[in-house]
Amino acid sequence: MSRLDDLIKNYESFVSLPWKPDLAGVERVWFAVYDPYEERRLRCRIEEFEISTKKASHGWQLLDITDSFAIWMSENDYRESYFEEPADMQMALKEFEEYVRENIRAMLKASDADENTVVAIHGVASLYGLTRVSGVIEGLEKDIKGRLLIFFPGEHEGNNYRLLGARDGWNYMAIPITAHDGGME
């Protein structure tokens, strides 16, 4: 079995466990952690996560944020000046972070994303160098009715997460689902 097979199997076991309704928002966030080089393979197999979720009698919503920066930039009035002077964009990246957060929030608040639904986000690698995943997730906890699943290409050790294994990482209390040792660390 490949590591991706193990991750899917561990996710299936985890999503099948009974869900406690009285958890804090931060406890409703799951990170499916996988090696960045498996990104394309994972994208081809996201449907298996959906099948596992539905098999466990939960709803499923998927949001791909891969193109978020391109969409945000195309709608930005100052895009031409940012292309001329990219350093001027630094302050605007906070607006981009909020843009991504609001897209996720809209999905979390959708009528079909109830307390029995997994809202899954993939494409977070596209945020690298623009904003931090931690910055996007902060402030969403109160909007999570069911579970928020982040497909996370990177590393996890303790409560420390490193996107693409390249940054110092940040300490976050999300529940990691991994490919090894039963899936949860």
> pLDDT digits over 92-139, tens only?
888 999 999 999 999 898 878 899 999 999 999 999 888 888 888 888
- pLDDT: is 173 or 65 the higher one? 65
Total domain count, the chain? 1
pLDDT tens, 155-165? 887 777 777 77
Q: What is the share, in percent, of the chain residues with pLDDT greater than 90? A: 55
Domain annotation covers residue 38: yes
Domain annotation covers residue 46: yes
Residue 25 reports pLDDT greater than 70: yes
Q: How far is CA 162 from CA 15, 23, 82, 180, in A?
A: 24, 25, 28, 17
Domain annotation covers residue 79: no
Domain annotation covers residue 93: no
Domain annotation covers residue 76: no
E strands, 18-159, in order: 29-34, 59-64, 117-122, 147-157
Domain annotation covers residue 86: no
The pLDDT assigned to 43 comes to 95
Under a CB-based contact definition with an 8 Å cutoff, are residues 137 and 31 in contact?
no
- The model's confidence at residue 21, banded by pLDDT at 50, 70 and 90, is confident
The pLDDT assigned to 184 comes to 53
Amino acid identity of 148? L
Domain annotation covers residue 83: no
What CATH number is associated with residue 9? 3.40.50
The pLDDT assigned to 185 comes to 47
Domain annotation covers residue 97: no
Domain carrying residue 38: 3-16+23-67+103-183
Element (H, E) at 98: helix 93-109
